[in-house]
Amino acid sequence: MSQARCGTVRRRSKSFDGLILATLIVAVLLVGGAMSSARARETVSFDNYPPGIIVIRSGERRLYFTLGQGTAIRYPVAVGKHGHAWAGLAHIEGKFVRPAWSPPPEVKRDIPSLPDVIPGGSPHNPMGERALTLDRDEIAIHGTNARMRASVGTAASYGCIRMYNEDVIDLYDRVQVGTPVLVLP
């Protein structure tokens, strides 16, 4: 007959306790980071525009998708850096899921080590999960890769509008080819 051995408790090592604590901290940071970017997208008051228009206020580093009745969804974005910012009216010309990216000549000139094409879905592809191309030369509203995620909220691009991947997926599902895009200073 086997007998249970009560009172024999194996103590965990301090390194194991540290590993558990580190795992919990990482989990909290990941959940908190996901929640903070989700909170960044919000519905706000936004007058004077009909529903279904994208308005980008470059100075605010914000993109608004108008819902009508004086409201819009507001997303944080990266806009064109000095010398690459633009303003005006454009329209969505194409919608792409995990697109391949070919660096425009100016980008290739500045970063000659870039390959001619970066496949869609590659962690090195700066287009991220979705791209909404505009009827302006080499300009799109698109997601980001992990390296460029921190640029959202700044003036950092060659003219494109960068969004968090989760936000560009949300916007992609709301718009269609032909949607007007008004970019303001």
- What is the pLDDT at residue 14? 52
pLDDT category, 47, cuts 50, 70, 90? Answer: confident
pTM of the complete model beyond 0.85? no
Mean pLDDT of 21-37: 42
Domain boundaries along the sequence of the chain: 11-40, 42-184
- Give the tokens for residue 102: 């070919």
| Catalytic residue annotation | 142, 160
Instruction: Give me the CATH topology for the region 42-184.
Output: L,D-transpeptidase catalytic domain-like (2.40.440)
Query: What is the DSSP secondary-structure string of 18-87?
Result: HHHHHHHHHHHHHHHHHHHHHHHSEEEE--SS-TT-EEEETTTTEEEEEEETTEEEEEE-BEEPTTT---
Higher pLDDT among residues 44 and 17, named by residue: 44
User: How confident is the model over 99-144, as pLDDT tens digits?
Assistant: 999 999 999 999 999 999 999 999 999 999 999 999 998 999 999 9
User: How confident is the model over 51-80, as pLDDT tens digits?
Assistant: 999 999 999 999 999 999 999 999 999 999
Residue 18 scores a pLDDT above 60 = no
Number of other CB atoms surrounding residue 118 within 10 Å: 19
- What is the pLDDT at residue 26? 39
Q: Residue 153 gets which letter from DSSP?
A: T
